Structure 1
């Protein structure tokens, strides 16, 4: 029985063995790229963030399916801003395999959105003084994620991002406070 029988639709199949046709450089640079993309969400420079996706990229997300640069940019500008203040993203348990369809790689991982401060207090966080909060930090969202990456002249780019099984801690959702 699958841990998430209805949740990881569209995920590339996972092999039980390490993909030996992925080089060590591809593996490490793909993991670094995924971590960079997740950190770019914290900076929320929409142009830089958008540049990490190919123009024809797709995103399968709990908020819908988005195809191409314009739809992705609209999603990032319209739906994503509430998910930014006071939240960091942490990708864990990376598995890298060859994407047989594109020749790139598939990076499968768990993505954790950690709420460390409430959005209304995010501007109080500085390098000079620690902000004291109660019951934070905490895992707000946990998701299985699969990024299909293609190598370009500018390095890795996201060809497709699939967000699968997702669990959200409603106590850490700003609207519930």
Structure 2
């Protein structure tokens, strides 16, 4: 099933405040997992039947997603995600659809990103004029609940990407 990034003029069903908060919190926590590259926890945040549509390719299911993430990992080191303008809508069935803008900011060269963990209280200075905005995109996450009530990403769509590839180092 495709997630359509076009927002409906009127919500199809009302999303209560608690559900809205949980969905936004979950999406932001998943992006922190990307920032810290906690790959096992990151993979666990997706449903078994996950579909990811990304300009770098489509993956269906956790096995394909794991392969996609492994190939994607090198450009993530030293990058932080900043999400804004979240819109939460009802999705198919009981799913929730969260659409937002994401800005990727390179704060350290990939080769030096480990220092962010080993010396987090130091001010980092680099010759490469960092921090630097390297990418903008619109993301649509379709979220579903597990039987235990936890959220999982069922479908992630990344589109309208604009990049500064000179800073993918």
Give me the TM-score of the superposition, normalised by structure 1: 0.85
Partner of 2:21: 28
**Which of 158, 164, 172 does residue 153 from structure 2 map onto?**
158
Matches of residues 113-128 of structure 1 in structure 2 within 5 Å? Answer: 113-125=104-116, 126-128=119-121
RMSD: 1.8
Q: Which runs of 5+ in 1 are unaligned?
A: 1-8
- Which aligned pairs between 1:1-177 and structure 2 lie closer than 5 A? 10-17=3-10, 21-77=14-70, 79-99=71-91, 101-125=92-116, 126-134=119-127, 135-152=129-146, 153-174=148-169
CA contact (8 A) 2:59 2:65 kept: yes
TM-score by length of 2: 0.89
Instruction: Confirm or deny: 8 A CA contact 1:106 1:148 kept in the other structure.
Output: yes
- Where do 4+ consecutive residues of structure 1 move more than 4 Å? 17-20
**By how many angstroms is 1:10 displaced?**
4.9
